[in-house]
Chain A
Amino acid sequence: MKKDNFAQFSGSEDYVTSEPIRNAVNVSIALGRPLLIRGEAGTGKTLLAHSIARGLEKKLTIWNVKSTTKAQEGLYVYDTVQRLNDSRFGDKDVGDIKQYIKLGKLGQAFIAPEQVVLLIDEVDKADIEFPNDLLNELDEMSFYIPETNETISAIHRPITVITSNAEKELPDAFLRRCIFHYIEFPTPELMEEIVRVHFPDIKDNLISEALKTFYSLRKVDDFRKKPSTSELLDWIRALIAGGIPHEDIAKQVPFVGTLLKKENDYDFFVRNFATRRW
């Protein structure tokens, strides 16, 4: 790959990136390795994949991982029940097994005629062995279907983004093959940029008052769930919609329910708000 091709990703209009993120994304594209993204909830891990797809004008394939997801489902599923049903009541040729093989998200990304961005979301939700079962497929970018004696291999290596909330430890062998990036919580300056992307017409004193209050709330260690970027954006949306004058923001903290989602946190806030013990 030529040097000029390296800096492919430079963010997209609605997603503010920092230099380390751009670097990590570009490295992963250049080396054709999956990018593993970790970070506090609400720092935009999933949105990063959306942004890459938009920035590079590629299609996005999303594989949402759940606790019951098996690696096999991402490759293909052999719909035996449908075949059984057809053999009894249908008029299809049940000898043609191919029509009962349904490709999963990974398989779809492989056979796509153009390079796609593949998002494997919340990989740590699944069983602890899940990432290991995908090692070879992600390495070779191909897999074999014994039922039809076919090998599906990637026409274009998909740009793979994997997000994790660190609920389970990921296996070492899997980690070795990934490019890793931890999204830090944005600094106030970066946060202001992010807010402005979402609310281009926001007034200066509203944004500065809101950010001041927001970061002072984040400093309170007694909260179980500290408010994050997505909560801040919701809150600002509420402030604008409610037409709250900026001088009331720090004084009253209106709509605090959009920032603090846990009952205990809300109680703590109400109890300590008057005395400002933070």
Chain B
Amino acid sequence: MFTDFFYILRQNKVPVSLVEWMTLMEALAKGHIKNLDEFYFLARAILVKSEAYYDQYDIAFQQYFQGVEAPEEITEQVLDWLKDPLSRLFLSEEEQAKFESMDFDELIKELEKRLEEQTGQHDGGGHWIGRGGTSPFGHSGYHPAGIRIGGQPGGRHAVQIAQERRFKNYRSDLTLDVRQIGMALKKLRQLRRTGLEDELDLEGTIKATAKNAGDLDFIWQRSRKNTVKLLLLMDVGGSMEPFAMLCSQLFSAAHSSTHFKDFQYYYFHNCIYDYLYKDVEREDAISTVHLLHTLEPDYKLLLVGDARMGPWELTERYGAINYYERNEIPGILWLKRIRDHFSHCVWLNPDDPRFWIHATVQMIGKLFPMYSLTLGGLEEAVGKLVVAK
């Protein structure tokens, strides 16, 4: 039953497992579902475990139940009868019960049948296609499993709710605010016991004391501290302008995080060559070689940039976009040096992944694991940074 729906959900990247699917089957077998509205909410409650996937669920729901939307030609034919929305109507329980038995195939068939029978415009009433009324067809009416044909919805129903896609903003592949970025970065945290044994181990003390026949025996341990060091290198200016806001959010999240042992950041333009810059205006320079000498390889490296540039900027001697940089070593080699130095590095790309087919993006993508600068991408990237490359 509905097995295709399961696969459509999986195609839409909703992480549904068999366990959940069997739970749904169990619920259906108990006969709790009276109509499609209830099915929509029941299946969502059982199958979807985060509001981040509500939107994909809505899309899958539409795909699976697409036959429900009135076909194009019927709409056109009927639209003439249905001009303005009338006010919404509520059904008595008795009427509601009567309609609840209809399923969708029946509805479609019934619609076609009534279309053939009906010859004129019709408002109100409970059978013909028209405005208001309680017929399952037409608009502004109220029917628990009804089909709306154009106009404004009166009562809202499952497929229509799915069509609204109200949960678009909860998707984790969209970019979000500073706090959420901060939360994602927090996962980088690695707590280690370091330093002097200056923290009382309460459990250990109790155990040891009990063993010691009740005479106090203190046990001390090292306190836990975060040992993560973060290096952030950001592309600024030029093609990165549209993403300036996003990058500044990432920056402020990283900067305000108190849980890093050390946090350093530098800027570059398009690609990294002999120098990195301490400011966005790129005036205060520091040599890349010096940086590689002074920073230990256990810094976690977060590169941010769209990686889009002229191929020569990456591969040619003197290829830097700023003529006066006169780089002896092509950018790609600089990037490779940086990658080889640090044991943990990722590249965050704010650009839409559809544009990642660009030649230089491809080349850089081979050097660094590349993730999109969205909440989902950032979480993946952080996951990657936790384990060594």
Contact = CB atoms under 8 A, between A and B. Distances in A.
Interface of A: 1, 3, 6, 19-20, 23-24, 26-28, 30-31, 33, 36, 38, 80-81, 84, 87-88, 167, 172, 175-182, 184
Contact of B19 (A19, A176, A179, A184): A176
A180 B27 contact: no
A246 B174 CA distance: 40
Give the dominant DSSP class at B's interface: helix
Interface of B: 15, 17, 19-20, 23, 26-27, 30-32, 37-38, 41-42, 44-46, 48-51, 54, 166, 170, 183, 206, 209-210, 214
Contacts of A6: 30, 32
A27 B19 contact: no
16 contacts: A3-B32, A20-B44, A20-B45, A24-B41, A24-B45, A27-B27, A27-B32, A27-B42, A31-B23, A33-B23, A80-B206, A81-B206, A84-B210, A87-B214, A167-B183, A180-B49
Contact of B45 (A3, A23, A88, A172): A23
Given A6-B32, A30-B30, A31-B27, A180 B50 contact: yes
A23 B41 contact: yes
Count chain B CB atoms within 10 A of each CB in A33, A88, A180 and give the residue with the most: A180
A92 to B, nearest CB: 15
Contacts of A81: 206
Nearest to B179: A224
A38 B38 contact: no
Contacts of A182: 50-51, 54, 170
B50 A30 contact: no
A167 B180 CA distance: 9
B42 A23 contact: yes
B31 A3 contact: yes
Contact of B214 (A23, A28, A84, A176): A84
A80 B23 contact: no
Given A1-B30, A30-B32, A179 B45 contact: yes
B21 to A, nearest CB: 10
Contact of A180 (B31, B48, B209): B48
B290 to A, nearest CB: 38
A87 B209 CA distance: 13
Nearest to A35: B45
A37 to B, nearest CB: 10
Count chain A CB atoms within 10 A of each CB in B17, B32, B48 and give the residue with the most: B32
Nearest to B183: A167
B171 to A, nearest CB: 13
A152 to B, nearest CB: 23
Contacts of B48: 180
